[in-house]
Structures are given as structure tokens and as C-alpha cells.
Amino acid sequence: MNNFIKVWLSVFISLCYCYSVGKFVPKGIPRLFGVFPIVCLFLLLPLNFSSVHLGGTFAFFIAWLANFKLLLFAFGKGPLSSDPSISLGHFVAIACLPIKIKQNPPLDSCNKPQNTQNKSDPSPKSHSIDPNKENPPEKTHPNRPYKENPVLKRPRKGHKWPLNITIRGILIVMLIQLYDYSDKFHPWAKLCLYCFHIYLWLDITLALVAALAQAMLGLELEPQFNAPYLSTSLQDFWGKRWNIMVTSILRQAIYEPFLHIATHVIGHKWAPLPAILGTFVVSALMHELMFYYVSHVKPTWEITWFFLFHGVCLVVEIYLKKVVLYQKVQLPRLISRPLTLGFLVVTSFWMFFPPLLRFKVDVRLLEEYTIFKGIFHALKF
């Protein structure tokens, strides 16, 4: 708990400094030099945690999301640059929490350049939700009166979150109880439990943080997941359904620069393919770093190979759609969904889970759950 307080105090002070840098230092290389020491500090802070839960969760918040947002901020891009008049509280919350504002309220004409960020993009990493479709008042249809700040008035989906979080909480408690009998399970059955555990833990954690941030900021936020178990392809899973916050950040920070360069080299039609592969390379390295924060052991690079393999498979899938199938032949969902989930599960069993099990991350998780239960009962009685 001491480390927890020190880390988050350091994060708050660092982000206050970055907020000041944004006010006085012009975007580009000068601002990059200003925030780069904070990026380095954020890579070191998660090493203070020995807990799997705290280390993994806050490493994701600080070393991954906050750092990428700050790098985008250095060049005047990303969520931290969407509103020049952003307050310090909003800046800190958006920087260090896994949240994305669904729709920015129109403030003044200086917000108009924000509409250039979501151009039509053939990328599988792009989202179906466009937070910047809002028209300025002078361009609104004359028979359709303009409504100012619709997001601040009434969040449309916030009321569903408590129920969803409660259901997922009950499921993860039941899952943890099953671990008491895990020695009687087949190894593959245990791995299936770990798959559900990772999804439920991420979904609950991110949803709780987003609900808290929504209550504090008064803004409507995008969901973190979009029913990944309904994915009909790798493109659908990685681009639109799994961990949407990370997808959005990687799209702006990695995919779009790669796409811009590749377009000049090989043309617009095929430029998304190397851009996707480059994005998966960065994602693979970041996941390997997250595993290091959790395990504190020398990486074996199996997790890196898992994401590189999926990147290659996704490139092949898109190539086949462009050349062979040409989007005219689609498998029925009753077939495509089991095939997609089966591929994800089998490749996870093959490359993703072995290093986690080898270094007994699952055992440490259960030990921490036992400690948490003991603390809860002590507080209750």
C-alpha cells in the first residue's frame, strides 16, 4: 500500500508537470523533449509493485496507455490534445485511466481540426464509432435544430453498467471457487478457465474505472469491450471488439504513421498490410513488457511470438478478402464465430499461456485472492 500511494503520487505530480508543458511548450520536438523524462519514469514505476493484480493493472495504465497518450500529446494528437481548454483534472484522468470520450462537445472553432482525425480508413483497426461526426451549428440542417453539448446532458448507456459489472463480478467469484477443484480438471479445461478469467478480470476492472471516470467527468465514454466472443474474424476481434481503448491508441500512435509511410512506398491499396504488421510488432513488445512487470523474470518472447503470429494471420486474412474473396463470399456466422474463437483459444494455449504457467503466475493470483478474502472477512467481522 505504501508503494501504491508513492507511485500514484508520482504519477499525479508528473502529469501536472506535463499539463504545464502543454501550456507553455509548442507541440513537436520541443514538447517531446519536455515529456520524455516522464515517459521513462512511467516505464520504471510499475517495478515497485510485487502484486500480480496491482503490477499488471497499473503497468497497463501507466507504462502503456499513459505513455502512448503522452507521446501523442507531444505532437498535438490523441485524447489529451482534443480540447485545448482541458482542465487539469480532466487531463490527469484521461492520461492515466483507460478511458476514451465517446463524443467531444463543441466548444469553439478551435476544436474543428479534431474532425480530421477520423478520416475514412481501410484499416481493420478502425472503429465503427466515430466520436467526431458532430456538425458545427452553422452547418446543421435547417429543419433539425442544433443541440448543444448532448453528451453532457444525458449519458445513454451508463445505467447499464452497474448490472453488467455485478453479473461479471458474480461470474468471476464463481470462477475463483472452481480453482479449489482445479487439480481434478483436465489441463485444457484449466486453460479455458484462465481464458475466461483474463477476459472477466479485464472487463470488470476497466468497466469500474470507466464508471468512476464517467461519474467524475460527466462525459459519455466508449465501452472497453464489444462482445469479443461474437467475433466473426480476426479483423473483427482485434479491430472492433477486443480492448477498444488500446486499439484506438495504437491506431493513432502506430498504425496511422506506418500507413502514411507505406502509402508513399507501395500505394494506398496495400499500405494497410505493413501498417497492421508494424502495429502488431509494437503491441507484441508492449505485452511482453507487461508480462515482465507481472513476473519479474527474463522474457522468453513466447508472448511476443503470439501477437506476431496473429498479426501475420490478420494480414493474410485481409489479403484473401481483397484478392480472392473480394468481400463477396462470407461464411455464415454460425461457422465463422466458432472458427474465430477456436483459433484464438488454440493459439493462446500454444503460445500465450505456457510462460504464464511456467512462472506460476496463476498460483500467485490465487494466493492474492486468498489474501484479499482474508482481509475482507477481517473487515466484515
Cell of 1: 500500500
User: Mean pLDDT throughout 340-361?
Assistant: 86
* Range with the poorest average pLDDT among 57-61, 101-105, 224-228, 332-336: 101-105
pLDDT of residue 377: 63
Residue 121 pLDDT exceeds 50: no
Q: Are 124 and 231 within 8 A, CB to CB? A: no
- Total residues belonging to the chain: 381
Tell me what pLDDT residue 29 has: 94
pLDDT tens, 216-273? 777 667 778 888 888 999 999 998 898 888 898 999 999 999 999 999 988 888 899 9
Q: Which three cell numbers stand for residue 66?
A: 499513459
Rounded-to-integer distance, Cα 46 and Cα 4, Å: 10
> If DSSP codes are grouped into helix, strand and coil, which group holds residue 267?
coil
Whether pLDDT at 115 is above 80:
no
CA 311 vs CA 234, 276, 277, 304: distances in Å = 9, 7, 5, 11
* Predicted pLDDT at 352: 87
Which comes out higher in pLDDT, residue 39 or 202?
39
Task: Select the more confidently predicted residue: 132 or 32.
Answer: 32
pLDDT band at 381 (very low <50, low <70, confident <90, very high): low
Task: For the chain, give the percent of residues with pLDDT over 90.
Answer: 29
227: phi > 0 → left, psi -120 to 50 → alpha, else beta; which? left
Domain boundaries, the chain: 1-97, 152-224, 225-381
pLDDT over threshold 60, residue 160: no
Q: Does 144 or 191 have the greater pLDDT score? A: 191
Q: How far is CA 240 from the centre of its chain?
A: 11
Task: Return the C-alpha cell found at 171.
Answer: 461470474
* 20 against 353, higher pLDDT: 20
Residue 101 forms beta bridges with which residues?
Answer: 221
Region 179-183 average pLDDT: 69
| Residue predicted with more confidence, 332 or 92 | 92
Cβ(162)–Cβ(204) under 8 Å?
A: no
- Lowest average pLDDT, out of 164-168, 262-266, 337-341, goes to 164-168
Q: pLDDT at residue 7 above 80?
A: yes
Nearest Cα neighbor of 127 from 235, 23, 54 is 235
Q: Which residues of 184-208 are buried (b: 16+ CB within 10 A; e: fewer)?
A: eeeeeebbebbbebebbbbbbbbbe
Q: Are 353 and 191 in contact (CB under 8 A)?
A: yes
Q: Which residue has the higher pLDDT, 130 or 341?
A: 341
Q: Answer with the residue of higher pLDDT: 14 or 214.
A: 14
Q: Which of 133-142, 149-158, 238-247, 282-291 has the highest mean pLDDT?
A: 282-291
pTM: 0.76
The DSSP annotation for 52-102 comes to HHHHHHHHIIIIIIIHHHHHHHHTT-SGGGS-TT--HHHHHHHHHSS--BS
Flag the least confident range among 71-80, 253-262, 360-369.
360-369
